[in-house]
Amino acid sequence: MSYVPPPTPNAAPVHESIPNHLAWAIVSTVLATCLCCPLGLVGIVAIVFSAKVNGLLRAGDLDGARRASANAKTWCWVATALAIIGLLMNIYFFSTGGMAEYQQMLEQIESMQ
């Protein structure tokens, strides 16, 4: 048998696992911004809430950490939806010959100069 010392009074309390969704927030923000438009930067809100979760857990504020995690998850879904919409718009744009029309428009602008 091995000896297990009793917990010390200054030991950090054990907290339940509350996800911070930080990786999801970063990836969805980058994809939404690249695929959709600058509106995808709303994902920064998700990053901010995600960054708050661990600090609130360290401070012992479980309710605050849960709220921050829930808000981060909501904003991650918003950024993910924008990324999906942007992806679908890009697929539609390129499948309907949108690039050819864009190049034709650029040629017209160049010829006017």
Classify residue 11: in a domain, yes or no: no
Q: How confident is the model at residue 13 (pLDDT cuts 50, 70, 90)?
A: low
Tally of structural domains, the chain:
1
In a domain, 3, yes or no: no
In which domain, by residue range, is 62 found? Answer: 22-102
Using an 8 Å Cβ cutoff, are 37 and 85 in contact?
no
Is residue 33 situated within a structural domain? yes
Residue 4 belongs to some domain of the structure? no
Nearest to 22 by CA among 43, 44, 51: 51
Q: Looking at the domain assignment, is residue 8 inside a domain?
A: no
What's the pLDDT tens digit per position in 40-56?
A: 889 999 999 999 999 99
C-alpha span between 65 and 60 (Å, rounded): 9
Of the two residues 98 and 66, the one the predictor is more confident about is: 66
Full-model pTM: 0.72
Which residue has better confidence, 103 or 9?
A: 103
Contact 76/51 with Cβ under 8 angstroms? no
- The alpha-carbon radius of gyration of the chain (Å, integer) is 23
Inside any domain, residue 42: yes
Residue 88 lies in a domain: yes
The rounded distance, in Å, linking the Cα atoms of 43 and 20 is: 14
Q: Is residue 36 part of a domain?
A: yes
Task: Measure the CA–CA gap between 57 and 63, rounded to whole angstroms.
Answer: 9
